[in-house]
């Protein structure tokens, strides 16, 4: 699967939208991506998971940056769970031609406790010196990725790589990125970062947005929509 094929798949499933959007950061954008729209189709989720696992394995086989397959795949809940499961499945199901493959790869996910602190629940654990790779759907600021790394490292694990379907960071060397520095809030990963594709969105401060200037209606994806019944009631009340 090349970049263009993935792009088409994202568009076809409605995961990648073009228009005028208010992002969760508050910025306005001409694009919006919601990987869950693609991952809701199990066969596509599997296909993307296999592809990501292959990219990972190619990196290993070329002997450049990763010395072995991790014992554990770890994802931040909820967005990373489906793709994390698929990558773990692909890595442990004999897709690889590399030696040193671990067969019983686990997939665990990190949740937030009632105080919003990242935590392992459901009896998940990581042993001392167990290696792990973080798998996400989209990486933008890297905040949730670094939360997973910090928690599992504190518990004794050893981070070996970061994988995501989509790279939305401003990092340029995304297929095998090490320790790039940035002063604009982008992540500074010191382990390899592998993604299937890099998407650059045009983002704008609300008061400088050219789409607002053209009076194009803005959408806030992910927010709850009013049901038609509620809208009708509201409409009749307001008359």
Beta strand residue intervals within 98-157, DSSP E: 106-112, 118-120, 131-139
Asked whether position 174 contacts Zn ion by CB under 5 A, the answer is no
76 neighbors 58 (Cβ within 8 angstroms): no
Residue with tokens 């067969």: 103
- Distance CA(91)–CA(124), nearest Å, equals 20
Q: Which is nearer to Zn ion, 9 or 211 (CB)?
A: 211
Nearest CA among 53, 78, 3 for reference residue 163? 53
Shortest separation between residue 16's beta carbon and Zn ion, angstroms: 18
Asked whether position 1 contacts Zn ion by CB under 5 A, the answer is no
| Single residue of 1, 23, 61, 212 touching Zn ion by CB under 5 A | 212
Shortest separation between residue 209's beta carbon and Zn ion, angstroms: 3
Burial class (CB in 10 A: 0-12, 13-18, 19+), 51: buried
With contacts defined by CB under 5 A, name the span among 2-10, 118-126, 203-211, 223-231 that binds Zn ion. 203-211
Asked whether position 54 contacts Zn ion by CB under 5 A, the answer is no
What is the contact mask toward Zn ion in residues 2 to 41, using x (rule: CB under 5 A)? --------------------------x-------------
User: Using CB under 5 A as the criterion, which residues of the chain lie in contact with Zn ion when the complex forms?
Assistant: 28, 209, 211-212
């Amino acid at each position: 699967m090349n970049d263009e094929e993935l792009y088409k798949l994202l568009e076809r499933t409605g995961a990648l939208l073009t228009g005028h959007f208010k992002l969760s950061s508050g910025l306005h954008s001409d694009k919006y991506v919601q990987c869950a729209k693609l991952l809701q189709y199990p066969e596509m989720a599997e296909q993307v998971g296999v592809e990501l696992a292959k990219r990972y394995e190619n990196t290993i086989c070329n002997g450049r940056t990763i010395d072995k397959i991790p014992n554990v795949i770890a994802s931040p809940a909820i967005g990373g769970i489906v793709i994390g499961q698929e990558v773990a499945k692909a890595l442990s199901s004999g897709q690889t031609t590399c030696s040193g493959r671990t067969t019983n790869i686990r997939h665990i996910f990190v949740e937030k406790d009632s105080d919003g602190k990242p935590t392992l629940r459901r009896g998940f654990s990581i042993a001392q010196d167990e290696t792990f790779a973080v798998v996400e759907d989209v990486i933008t600021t890297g905040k949730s990725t670094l939360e997973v790394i910090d928690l599992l490292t504190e518990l004794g694990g050893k981070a070996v790589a970061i994988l995501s379907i989509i790279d939305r960071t401003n990092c340029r060397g995304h297929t095998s990125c090490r320790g790039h520095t940035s002063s604009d809030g982008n992540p500074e990963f010191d382990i390899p970062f592998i993604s299937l594709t890099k998407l650059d969105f045009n983002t704008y401060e609300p008061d400088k947005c050219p789409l607002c200037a053209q009076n194009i209606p803005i959408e806030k994806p992910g927010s709850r929509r009013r049901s038609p019944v509620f809208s009708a009631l509201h409409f009749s009340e307001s008359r």
